[in-house]
Structure 1
């Protein structure tokens, strides 16, 4: 973004990592998100976004430079939010590895459901220019490293049993990311129910020898 940013462009302040208020985006980004979801990045034009947002083309170029800028703004917002939530979820466990792991997985899956629209744009990152792709990859790496650290600590404490922690971390994140491909708000399961199931699957994946307290008791 270039000039005149409004408060809706900024990363949200998050106090409760399990609580998701409606997504607050600038109207131009709302229009871009809808276009990208319906037609893909490649099939969307800036003119279509401007028409949908009911703004002029110069306004979009002034704020976001080009179509790439729209995608970058949405991807940065999504990744910044899940990182912020994941760090809060990790901190809440107060160093208890099993709870740290369960909290972070729960947090990621909640993000993939409540924020499916923006989180699902991860599939469009192939269209990012090299510099933008490196920046986004660095943010994703932070999330991967957080989960990896927890898994390695679980192995060191004899709580987890995995052959290759880095591969396991990437596999778990890929599994969670895939939720955006099938989740529908009108489906039979709530985000919380899906998160509970994915925590159970993830604990089995890392060979957890014991289970953390039920989610309600971890609050």
Structure 2
């Protein structure tokens, strides 16, 4: 394997959003709608390279070649391969949280509707943005400080769902004796959609989301009889 050119490590720029990077604008109340995502050429090339070869197997030189630029030009825009991964992961997680917050705000007061909206929004993202969502598996390759920031945002989604589930248990709507494990199971279940979903398959994005809403509610409503 060709040895990559060594260079001084540059600080992460952490430009998570913005039109120049290609991440979506805040969808507002239209959180169910997804436009085609047009990432910047550097991020699109990095996403393709990481998707094809993984983070460790991906080559910075190959990313530059995909864009058709020199290594110094790539490094001018993104200080390192780590910076490319961080920007993709943080941008994706930001978009997930924005959509889930809008979905939750629209849901009203009933815990079952609030859970349904969060799960629907999360699952829709996993289908429409599955290439980005699939990159979550590369979190293990983040440097400690970057991993801490990313995991903190990912945890926010679990806490959002956990708060709604706790309200549902208090109201007698949900009966699971294991709310912590139930929330973890629902989040993991939804994340896994990015691994197997294909748009050419038998189910559309909205159909998958509705099925996962039913599965999530079944998980939370179920309880042991005394």
- Work out whether the TM-score is over 0.5: yes
C-alpha distance after superposition, 1:149-180 (max 9, x if no partner): 01000100000011121221111100000111
Q: 1:142 to 1:198 in 2, by over 3 A?
A: same
Q: Distance in 2 between matches of 1:60 and 1:11?
A: 22
Pairing 1:41–2:69 present: no
Tell me the residue number matched to 2:26. 13
- TM-score w.r.t. structure 1 length? 0.91
Q: Distance in 2 between matches of 1:195 and 1:7?
A: 28
Task: Spell out structure 1 runs of 4+ moving beyond 4 A.
Answer: 3-6
Quote the offset at 1:54 in angstroms: 1.3
Q: 1:201 to 1:64 in 2, by over 3 A?
A: same
Quote the offset at 1:6 in angstroms: 6.2
The SS at the match of 2:57 is coil
The SS at the match of 1:41 is helix
C-alpha distance after superposition, 1:109-148 (max 9, x if no partner): 0000000000000001110000000000000010010000
Q: Distance in 2 between matches of 1:125 and 1:32?
A: 15
- TM-score w.r.t. structure 2 length? 0.88
Tell me the residue number matched to 2:105. 91
Pairing 1:189–2:196 present: no
Tell me the residue number matched to 2:94. 80
Residue from 107, 116, 135 that aligns with 1:102:
116
When the two chains are superposed, the root-mean-square deviation of aligned CA atoms in Å is: 1.8
Paired residues in the alignment total 209
- Contact preservation (8 Å) 2:31, 2:99: yes
Unaligned segments of structure 1, at least 5 residues: 210-219
Q: Distance in 2 between matches of 1:117 and 1:76?
A: 14
Residue from 75, 82, 85 that aligns with 1:61:
75
Quote the offset at 1:94 in angstroms: 2.3
Unaligned segments of structure 2, at least 5 residues: 1-11
Residue from 51, 61, 66 that aligns with 2:65:
51
Q: 1:93 to 1:50 in 2, by over 3 A?
A: same
Q: Which has the larger radius of gyration?
A: 2
